A and B are shown apart, each in its own frame.
Chain A
């Protein structure tokens, strides 16, 4: 379906909803805000584009938070349904991505509580889907094996973290958000997030040390 043409009326509606002039926002953010407004008005194509723009981010974060790809797919579906359902609650003056990431963290918390299991490695996920990423031609088979082993150790260490610490470290160190952004997503304070990531980093480093040398 072709998206309806929206001219100045849409811009004025975004301005009315957000209090921010469209030209003052980052281009991607402004485009996302326009999609949100149109989707909230019930335009299916706009919602479809919102899903397309955010699905990889949501599914990847869900996979990192719950560990299993099948559970992550279910979580991602639930995230988009909640987005659709509560789009009218979204404050369009604020950026959309932190909002959808907060929903993802909340949904994954519920999913992880219900479904626990051994985490899927990238290799397992790739083998299951039949999509294997091309490896670096400079890497020897031994290097590839060692890298896979280290990543498996890391996933196992991540899986052993408490839920809040895991969410904090995934958002901060894997997603690369700032401590303040992580605190906003987790509805926590920067001091609490610093404490959580400090604890999580130490646990991961020590868990990897133990896996490498069980006597240590």
Chain B
């Protein structure tokens, strides 16, 4: 039979901690269960032993040691209490204890908030961007660079070059070519070069040429800005 519940009740009943309605049920169970009746006897014996500990007296020598050490330390504490204790005692002396304790807690909390707002915290540096390190045991073959176009002599040449590039593309939409010439970690915005259809270029007025120099000396970007209606690009 599983008597776990009865055991818990027995352990309470041995010192009169079991509520009255349960005692009747427990007594009926004890008349039927020998194991629980034996446990009740053991509990009575161990409780008697526990209570006998109350008669133990600590030696006077131990008491004397405690007193000898405590009193000088308390006197030293009394002579030089730290500022928090002094403040707390002063507030407590002025107010009733239960209110003073809350008041001190509020004052300390507000003080901590004010101090944390006034004192600048340490500068937080942005975390460095992840950099991929590539190592290779074998020699890396040289990368073939695309042929560098000849330098453009004049805006007219530039227009011709743009027309030639655009004609190689379908004529239905302007072509956008994004050139990311900056290194991986360069925070500057990516320059974008749009070549437009020849019809958009005002042939009467020469376009403004913007020359973008990238970190790579082999890449120079020219930006044609149409000064006429419709803006640049």
The answer to the question of B73 belonging to the interface, with a C-beta cut-off of 8 Å to chain A, is yes
Q: Are the CB atoms of B97 and A154 closer together than 8 Å?
A: no
A187–B3 alpha-carbon span in the complex (Å): 31
Q: Are the CB atoms of A129 and B61 closer together than 8 Å?
A: yes
A91–B75 alpha-carbon span in the complex (Å): 23
A72–B156 alpha-carbon span in the complex (Å): 99
Given contact pairs A51-B70, A89-B97, A198 touches B59 in the complex (Cβ within 8 A): no
Q: Are the CB atoms of A77 and B66 closer together than 8 Å?
A: yes
Q: Which of B134-171 contact A (CB under 8 A)?
A: none
Closest to B49 in A: A154
The answer to the question of B46 belonging to the interface, with a C-beta cut-off of 8 Å to chain A, is yes
What are the residues of chain B within 8 A of A133 when measuring CB–CB?
57
Total number of residue pairs linking A and B with CB closer than 8 Å: 143
Q: Which of B32-82 contact A (CB under 8 A)?
A: 39, 42-43, 45-47, 49-54, 56-63, 65-67, 69-71, 73-75, 77-78
Interface of B is mostly: helix
Closest to A207 in B: B46
Given contact pairs A81-B70, A131-B60, A154 touches B77 in the complex (Cβ within 8 A): no
Q: Are the CB atoms of A44 and B75 closer together than 8 Å?
A: yes
A175–B50 alpha-carbon span in the complex (Å): 10
Q: Are the CB atoms of A77 and B17 closer together than 8 Å?
A: no
The answer to the question of A197 belonging to the interface, with a C-beta cut-off of 8 Å to chain B, is yes
Closest to B71 in A: A48
What are the residues of chain B within 8 A of A206 when measuring CB–CB?
42
B95 to chain A, nearest CB (A): 11
The answer to the question of A181 belonging to the interface, with a C-beta cut-off of 8 Å to chain B, is no
Stretch at the interface among A4-12, A27-35, A58-66, A105-113: A58-66
The answer to the question of A103 belonging to the interface, with a C-beta cut-off of 8 Å to chain B, is no
The answer to the question of A179 belonging to the interface, with a C-beta cut-off of 8 Å to chain B, is yes
Q: Are the CB atoms of B51 and A174 closer together than 8 Å?
A: yes
Q: Are the CB atoms of A173 and B88 closer together than 8 Å?
A: no
Q: Are the CB atoms of A201 and B62 closer together than 8 Å?
A: no
A176–B52 alpha-carbon span in the complex (Å): 11
Q: Are the CB atoms of A85 and B85 closer together than 8 Å?
A: yes
Q: Are the CB atoms of A84 and B46 closer together than 8 Å?
A: no
What are the residues of chain B within 8 A of A48 when measuring CB–CB?
71
What are the residues of chain A within 8 A of B197 when measuring CB–CB?
none
Given contact pairs A84-B74, A154-B50, A173-B50, A198 touches B11 in the complex (Cβ within 8 A): yes
A205–B10 alpha-carbon span in the complex (Å): 12
The answer to the question of A96 belonging to the interface, with a C-beta cut-off of 8 Å to chain B, is no
A16 to chain B, nearest CB (A): 9
B84 to chain A, nearest CB (A): 11
The answer to the question of B222 belonging to the interface, with a C-beta cut-off of 8 Å to chain A, is no
Q: Which of A44-71 contact B (CB under 8 A)?
A: 44, 47-48, 51-52, 55-56, 59-60, 63-64, 69
A49–B88 alpha-carbon span in the complex (Å): 24
Q: Are the CB atoms of A73 and B50 closer together than 8 Å?
A: no
Binding site for B on A (CB under 8 A): 17, 42, 44, 47-48, 51-52, 55-56, 59-60, 63-64, 69, 72-73, 76-77, 80-81, 84-85, 88-92, 122, 125-126, 128-131, 133, 150-151, 154, 157, 169, 172-176, 179, 194, 197-199, 201-202, 204-206, 208-209
